[in-house]
Amino acid sequence: MPNPKQINYVLPSTYDDGSALSVADIKQVNIGIRPKTGTAGTYPLTAIDVTFTPDAQGVSHETLAVFGSLAPGDYIAAAETVMKAGGVSVWSTESAPFTIAPPIPSPPTAVSVS
């Protein structure tokens, strides 16, 4: 997908032991981005989402703008949950690769022949 605008994720509803998890107990969601050619589980670009308000379908969204201006290239994203009590999940399954395309210039103007 070229030039996506946001990263989407669904908050967990259970702990890794299967017991119920309350969204009120979540401190933040860390979102990581790595180059497609990078190492899985290593995210040199990270952002913290503390507003994770799910939409009607239960999906939370974080804008890619929180990472600043990403250089053109192919990237992969993942997320981890941080609890108020201190527990941190493993990183999620990684997203499908996405592409940041280079900006396309406008064409020249006032072209004429003399």
Nearest to 91 by CA among 106, 76, 105, 102: 76
pLDDT category of residue 52 using cuts at 50, 70 and 90: confident
The set of residues, in sequence order, having a beta carbon less than 8 Å from that of 48 and lying 6+ positions away, is 28, 29, 30, 31
Cβ pair 98, 36 in contact under 8 A: no
CATH number of the domain to which 32 belongs:
2.60.40
Is residue 31 assigned to a domain? yes
pLDDT classification of 79: cutoffs 50, 70, 90: very high
Name the percent of the chain lying above pLDDT 90. Answer: 89
Determine the average pLDDT of the residues in 81-90: 96
Q: Considering the domain boundaries, does residue 105 fall inside one? A: no
The mean per-residue pLDDT over the stretch 101-108 comes to: 93
User: Quick check: 2 pLDDT over 90?
Assistant: no
Domain count of the chain? 1
| Residue 6 structure tokens | 């946001």
